[in-house]
Structure 1
Amino acid sequence: MLAQRANPLWEFLAVADPPAPADVIFVFGSQAFAVPARAAELFRAGYAPVVLVTGHYGRMTRNRFPAPEALVFRDRLMRDGVPAGAVVTEPLATNTLENVRFGLAALDRAGVDVRRALLVAKPFVMRRCTATFDRQAPDVDVRCCPPTTSLDASIDREPGRFAARLVAELDRLDRYGAAGDITPQAIPAEVRAAAALLNRSPVAGGAVPQAPAGP
């Protein structure tokens, strides 16, 4: 039931492009270990010589990870075959805007000239990631390369809260676009209608709760 009702949101949010040669694989921190696994896969396939991983602690990693997301993901990347010398870490960013700004600054300090980037994050935040790049670094050509997965396989919390998180992502796009942090996104009417239905319908045995701020 959740997949059927939430699929219009998922299809809109989970932007995915075919990978192409780039200067960097730009990884957004989170609790999802499928993200560094995908980045390592892209690196091993030769799509870019450098992996940047950015992120401090988020709501879902603060009490779960022993170190900032960037450092935990770095260790995963190395375990999956990415040499330490190919990884640039940025462990201070606490939101997507900071991920992009701080991550690009870290790459600049490392002497990496970024003109093309492959973005890797949880699928449902990919639209916001690319919209942030479009606003903050419009000269960088980006492609969204999230882990290849389905909506059902990506549910990382109680289903009602996951549905609420997808709805909240649309609100973030509206608010951050109005604030000038991202390129404004035209959300299709059918996606807004699906979000409204999720907001007022029981999901997984309970009404969709309000999603708190967080990843």
Structure 2
Amino acid sequence: MISAQAWADAQTLWDFQQMGHAPRPCSAAVGLGSHDLGVADTTAELYHRGLFPLIVFTGATSRTTQERMPRGEAEHYRERAVELGVPERAILVEPNARNTGENIRFSRAILEVRQVPVSSVLLVSKPYEERRSYATARKLWPGVEWVCASTAMKLPQYVDSIGDARLVLDMMVGAQQRLMIYPRQGFAIEQEIPDDVRAAFERLRDGGFTSRLAPETADQS
């Protein structure tokens, strides 16, 4: 049973991770691989709105996705987007990235190899990782403008869509921790963390939502 305090703290982290960007036309989109096929759905929706001509889906597999996405996160995203009417010619697949830093670096590399001119990128992530993804992208690819997007859902709806409340809260705590520790490790730009967000993170961490915490050493995962 997840307590009312834990849900309130999770809502605080959820709200903080939302960047509040208005989607706008960009040179390309990057859909960050994960267990959440909603990233592919949202990317496809934004493509159909004419906001970018090209998508890079990026991601190998992880302990969370190796069973549900055996062909790799990026490939499963591609398949979903094609089912939703995105033409295959508009999708590039980057199948090797195993963390957010690699998502950004490898996506940049594949676009450069294809000689795609990029001045802005619409970065599509899970709702509770917008700010963390933005901080990573800004650090590792500073020469472009980043616009964040994710599935427009409230936290309870999102948890229902995933079907595993514990997993979602664990991953939210892991995302918040990385946002706080990665700047000093050189993986992300610094973000100001409000006191209420830090306190919510600490209560959730101390309450046992720890399965997705990273070691506090220079290993981006």
**What TM-score, normalized by structure 2, do the two folds share?**
0.88
Identify the match of residue 171 of structure 1 among 164, 171, 177.
177
Identify the match of residue 6 of structure 1 among 4, 7, 10.
10
Give 1:51's aligned residue.
Answer: 55
Q: CA contact under 8 A between 2:173 and 2:212: conserved in structure 1?
A: no
One-letter amino acid of the structure 2 residue matched with residue 162 of structure 1: V
Q: CA contact under 8 A between 2:44 and 2:84: conserved in structure 1?
A: yes
Q: CA contact under 8 A between 2:173 and 2:213: conserved in structure 1?
A: no
Give 2:138's aligned residue.
Answer: 134
Q: Does 1:116 align with 2:95?
A: no
Q: CA contact under 8 A between 2:23 and 2:147: conserved in structure 1?
A: yes
Deviation at 1:213, TM superposition (A): 5.2
Q: CA contact under 8 A between 1:3 and 1:151: conserved in structure 2?
A: no
- Could you report, residue by residue, the CA deviation over 1:125-171 in whole angstroms, capped at 9, with x for unpaired residues? 11111111111111110111111111112223643443232222221
Change (3 A) 1:157 1:173: farther
- The secondary structure found in structure 2 opposite 1:31 is coil
Identify the match of residue 129 of structure 2 among 109, 125, 128.
125
**What TM-score, normalized by structure 1, do the two folds share?**
0.90
Give 1:37's aligned residue.
Answer: 41
Give 1:205's aligned residue.
Answer: none
Q: Does 1:182 align with 2:193?
A: no
Matches within 5 A, 1:79-98: 79-98=83-102
Distance across 2 between alignment mates of 1:18 and 1:84:
26
Q: CA contact under 8 A between 2:121 and 2:146: conserved in structure 1?
A: yes
Change (3 A) 1:160 1:30: closer
Distance across 2 between alignment mates of 1:93 and 1:160:
25
Which blocks of at least 5 consecutive residues in structure 2 are unaligned?
215-220
Deviation at 1:200, TM superposition (A): 4.2
> Cα RMSD between the aligned structures?
1.8
Give 2:210's aligned residue.
Answer: 210
Q: CA contact under 8 A between 2:78 and 2:93: conserved in structure 1?
A: yes
| Paired-residue identity, % | 32
Give 1:104's aligned residue.
Answer: 108
- The secondary structure found in structure 2 opposite 1:49 is coil
Change (3 A) 1:193 1:115: same
- The secondary structure found in structure 1 opposite 2:143 is coil
- The secondary structure found in structure 2 opposite 1:81 is coil
Q: CA contact under 8 A between 1:56 and 1:91: conserved in structure 2?
A: yes
Q: CA contact under 8 A between 1:14 and 1:127: conserved in structure 2?
A: yes
Q: CA contact under 8 A between 1:16 and 1:146: conserved in structure 2?
A: no
- Could you report, residue by residue, the CA deviation over 1:88-113 in whole angstroms, capped at 9, with x for unpaired residues? 11000000000000011011112211
Which blocks of at least 5 consecutive residues in structure 1 are unaligned?
202-207
Aligned residue pairs total 209
Q: CA contact under 8 A between 2:40 and 2:81: conserved in structure 1?
A: yes
Distance across 1 between alignment mates of 2:167 and 2:37:
20
Q: Does 1:61 align with 2:57?
A: no
- Could you report, residue by residue, the CA deviation over 1:155-189 in whole angstroms, capped at 9, with x for unpaired residues? 23643443232222221112211111110121110
Q: Which has the larger displacement, 161-170 or 5-14?
A: 161-170
Q: Does 1:194 align with 2:194?
A: no
One-letter amino acid of the structure 1 residue matched with residue 201 of structure 2: A
